[in-house]
Amino acid sequence: MTTFRPSDERELSDIVAAALAREEPLEIVAGGSKRGLGRPLQLPHTLDMSAFSGIRSYEPEELVLTAGAATSMRIIEAALAERGQMLAFEPPDWRRLLGSGAAEPTLGGVTACNLSGPRRIKAGAARDHLLGFHAVSGRAEAFKAGGRVVKNVTGYDLPKLMAGSYGTLAALTEVTFKVLPRPEAERSLVVAGLDDAAATRAMAAALNSPHEVSGAAHLPRGADGADRPLTVLRLEGPAPSVAARAAALAQELGSFGTIDEAREGASRELWQAVGEVVPLAHDAQRTLWRLSVAPNAGAPLAAELARRLDHRHFFDWGGGLLWLAVRGGDDGGAAIIRAAIARLGGHATLIRGADALRAAVPVFQPQAPALAALSRRVKEGFDPRRILNRGRIYADL
C-alpha cells in the first residue's frame, strides 16, 4: 500500500489523476479518528490529507471561520472558545466509541460525516452551518462551492451534498463554517425514574413549550450506563432568561415527578456524555446502531426490539434518535432492526461492529430504487471511476 501526501491542491489533483489513469482507488485520511465509520476499506493506496490544515481566516464579528479540512477540532474549538463562540451543531467526539483514541478528529472529517450532537434539534445539522468548501473531485478537478456569507445561493447547494458524503465525492481541502456565540449560561432539568414512554411524553412537552429547549435525552440506565433512568432537558442563553425558563419549565413538568437541576459544568459534562454515547461506549463487544425515527416512535420501537434482541439503548433528539447496543446475532441484529424500521419508518446506521460484520451487512440504510439511481448519478458526476473512498457507503459506490 502506498501513502500519498499532497502539499497543495495542484499536487492533490495530480495524485488523483494518476490514480484515475491506473483505476486504483484511494482511501482519504486526515486525522483518522473516523476510519471505523462506514464499510471497511481495503484499497491499494491512502491519500493523507494532513497538510491541508490550519485556520485560514476567522472573523468573529462576521461569525465566519475558514480552515483547512485537516485542521484538528481541538485547534478549532480553542480558537472559538477564546472569542466566546462555538460550532452550534455541537460536533461529537466519537474516539472512545470507535476505539480511535490516539487519532485527531478534524473539521473535514466532521463535515464529511455530517456529525451533529444533541443541539441538532434546535441548531440543525453540520450541513446547515457549512457555508462553502474547496475540494478535488474524483475527476481530478479542483473546484469550490458556496461562499463566506450566509446568504450565498448561487448554483446548486453543493455544501449540503458534500456534508455526509463520507469522502466518496471529493477530497475536501478547505471548509467555511458559520459560527455562533457560546451561551452565557446553561442549566439542565433532570427527571429521574421515568420509563421510555413517560420520558417521551416529558420530552415532547418540553420541546413543544415556549422555553427554547436545546437538548432532550432519556438515559434508561443513567449517564454512565449503570444507574437509574434520567430524562434530561437543557436550556441555554442569557443567565436571567435561563433561570426564568428553567423555573417555568420545571413547574409545567411537575406531574412527571421530582425535578432536579444540573448547572453549568455539571450540565456540560452530562451533554458531552450524551454526544459521545458514553452510556453505551464502554461495552465494545456489542454492535452499536444509530436509528433515526419519528420522536413518538422511539419508545415503541425500543420495546419491540427488546422482545427479540438483547440490547441496551438511550434516546437523544427528543426521542427521534435511538442508540442501540446489541449483543449477539450473526448479523448484529440487522435483519430484525431493519424489518422494524420498515414498519415504523426511519433509517438505521451501523456505527460500530467488527470489520467482517460491516462488510457483510449494509452499514447505511438500503435505498429505495429511485433514490439509489439518483445516488449513482451523483457519484457519476463527481467520481465516475470510483476512485475516492470506493465502497465506504455502499459496496458499488
Dihedral of CA atoms 257, 261, 262, 263 in degrees, nearest 10, equals 160
Q: What is the pLDDT of residue 149?
A: 56
Amino acid present at 325: A
CA–CA gap between residue 301 and residue 314 (Å, rounded): 12
Q: Is 228 exposed, middle or buried (0-12, 13-18, 19+ CB in 10 A)?
A: exposed
Q: What is the pLDDT of residue 36?
A: 94
Q: What cell was used for 58?
A: 476567522
Give per-residue pLDDT as tens, 196-248: 999 999 999 999 999 999 999 999 988 777 788 999 999 999 999 999 999 99
Residue 353 and residue 288 in contact, taking contact as beta carbons nearer than 8 Å: yes
CA–CA gap between residue 241 and residue 236 (Å, rounded): 8
Q: How many CB atoms lie within 10 A of CB 65?
A: 26
Q: What is the pLDDT of residue 329?
A: 86
The parts of the chain modelled with pLDDT lower than 70 are 148-156
CA–CA gap between residue 190 and residue 119 (Å, rounded): 17
The SS3 call for residue 69 is: coil
Q: Is the model's pTM score more than 0.75? A: yes
DSSP code string of 252-310: HTGGG--EEEEEHHHHHHHHHHHHTTHHHHT-TTSEEEEEE--GGGHHHHHHHHHTTSE
Residue 95 and residue 101 in contact, taking contact as beta carbons nearer than 8 Å: yes
Q: What is the pLDDT of residue 152?
A: 47
